[in-house]
Chains A and B, each alone.
Chain A
Amino acid sequence: MSVTKKNIYIVDDDESVCRALKVLLTTFDFEVKTFNSAQSFFDAVPHDEPGCLVLDIHMSGLDGWAAQKKILDSGSKRPVIFISAEKQENAADRAVKVGAVGFLQKPFNGQTLVDLINAASESNDVMDKMAQ
């Protein structure tokens, strides 16, 4: 009996961050896909495809905040976790306000990210069941 692995999408314009987070999250048994821009993520992954998004804020083109707005506008319930190397005042508060699961300042502990992902997908599962 194989359990379907949870999808994680990582969007970060820093390739080494993408690669390293993918290696790390794979050891936690997630199915990980990485994208170097928000646009390439939207091009490849439909809004209704399940999975948690780990989203960098500071990116050229569509930045993290704009990408999150696009997700919300589409009506998608995709859980989003913001990450950033930039120190932004009140980024954590702002992240929660715009409906994200949380915000992590880079560099962060892998376990902290995994805990957030798990919390996000659990609440999402509950919401899905309630909706049914």
Chain B
Amino acid sequence: MKKSKNTKIPPLKKVTRKNLEKKIRRQTDELKVRSGQLREGVDREKVADRKIEEQREELLHVTRVGKLAEFVSSLAHEISQPLTAILSYAQAAQRMFSGREPQLQEILQYIINDNHRATEVIRRLRLLLKKSKPTLESLDINTLINDTATLMMTHITVKNKVLKLHLEKDLPLVQGDRIQLQQVLLNLISNSLEAMEGNDAGRELLIRTSRKDAGTVMVEVRDAGCGISEENMKKLFVHFFTNKPDGLGMGLSISRSIVEAHGGRLNVKNNSGLGATFYFTIPVNVKGMVNE
């Protein structure tokens, strides 16, 4: 017993130190693992937070789009009532003075014409926001741009401008509502043309498509116009903001709503040279089919 005690003590000391070192190493390793796990946990929470933030943002977008649709619908209704009365009065007056008072007749006709113009604005607005949720189908964005360009070609030529298309080949099909996306394109093209109005230095309007990432296609509409002042840049997408004498200030705000309802983003930047570029993203069709 004694012997064994004597023989055991020295190695025990060594073992203890070794064991202690081992223990420390083990505990350090464990701590490292735990710290790693904690870090992972924190990262996971960060990701979860970011996801919640994204979802909240998404919800805000959806609410905004919905609210705009609701607002436009009630606005259209409220304006249609007085327009009905004005048109009826003007047509009644035309009949009352039929064959007489040519100047009055002319004025009445102007009232009727402008009434039709206001009605047309409402009709188009309604068409744009017919559904706050777009009917999504698989679309070839390049074909849509080509079709839209054809529609606008005469207008572009009359304005003495040049349209160039740089459409990336083999883009995947996107998820979109054909009519709504066409309205966005028409709005951006006609804005660009107006930005280049009376500006002979800038004549080129460029539409470019590209693949932004695996799930997104990007469309850019670049003009060589007057560009956008910093002050206007902030208000550009606000309803009823316009710097055009006969503008309604609704085109861009509606366009943004449409793009956002598609799960994309519409934005603008000034070019390093002349003019500005409006660009929007559209999610790729889930099936990811590649067009020809």
Interaction A to B: yes
Residues of A within 8 A of B80 (CB): 85, 106-107
Q: Hey, what's the 0/1 contact readout for B48-86 against A, CB within 8 Å counting as 1?
A: 000000000000000000000000010011101111111
Complex alpha-carbon distance, A127 and B82, angstroms = 36
Q: Counting CB contacts under 8 A, is A91 at the interface?
A: no
A17/B85 in contact, CB under 8 A: yes
A107/B87 in contact, CB under 8 A: yes
Write the nearest CB–CB distance from A36 to chain B, whole angstroms. Answer: 13
Complex alpha-carbon distance, A20 and B73, angstroms = 23
Q: Hey, what's the 0/1 contact readout for B98-141 against A, CB within 8 Å counting as 1?
A: 00000000000000000100010000001000000000000000
Q: Counting CB contacts under 8 A, is A24 at the interface?
A: yes
Residues of A within 8 A of B77 (CB): 58, 85-86
Write the nearest CB–CB distance from B219 to chain A, whole angstroms. Answer: 29
B contact patch SS: helix
Write the nearest CB–CB distance from B216 to chain A, whole angstroms. Answer: 32
Query: How large, as a class, is the contact surface on chain B?
Result: 20 to 34
Residues of A within 8 A of B82 (CB): 16
Q: Hey, what's the 0/1 contact readout for A20-34 against B, CB within 8 Å counting as 1?
A: 110110111000000
Residues of B within 8 A of A19 (CB): 85
Give the A interface residue count (CB, 8 A).
22
A20/B86 in contact, CB under 8 A: yes
When the two chains form the complex, which single residue of B73, B87, B88, B89 contacts A87, counting CB atoms closer than 8 Å?
B73
Q: Counting CB contacts under 8 A, is A4 at the interface?
A: no
When the two chains form the complex, which single residue of A16, A27, A108 contacts B96, counting CB atoms closer than 8 Å?
A27
Q: Hey, what's the 0/1 contact readout for A28-59 against B, CB within 8 Å counting as 1?
A: 10000000000000000000000000000010
Q: Counting CB contacts under 8 A, is B95 at the interface?
A: yes
Complex alpha-carbon distance, A14 and B31, angstroms = 77
Q: Counting CB contacts under 8 A, is B92 at the interface?
A: yes
Write the nearest CB–CB distance from B178 to chain A, whole angstroms. Answer: 18
Complex alpha-carbon distance, A109 and B131, angstroms = 27
Residues of B within 8 A of A86 (CB): 77
Residue contacts A-B, CB under 8 angstroms, 18 given: A17-B81, A17-B85, A20-B89, A20-B92, A21-B84, A24-B89, A24-B91, A24-B92, A27-B95, A85-B80, A106-B80, A106-B83, A107-B87, A107-B88, A109-B91, A110-B87, A110-B88, A110-B92
Q: Which residues of B contact A (CB under 8 A)?
A: 73, 76-78, 80-89, 91-92, 95-96, 115, 119, 126
New contact pairs (7) apart from A85-B78, A85-B80, CB-CB < 8 Å: A14-B85, A17-B81, A20-B88, A21-B84, A58-B77, A85-B77, A107-B80
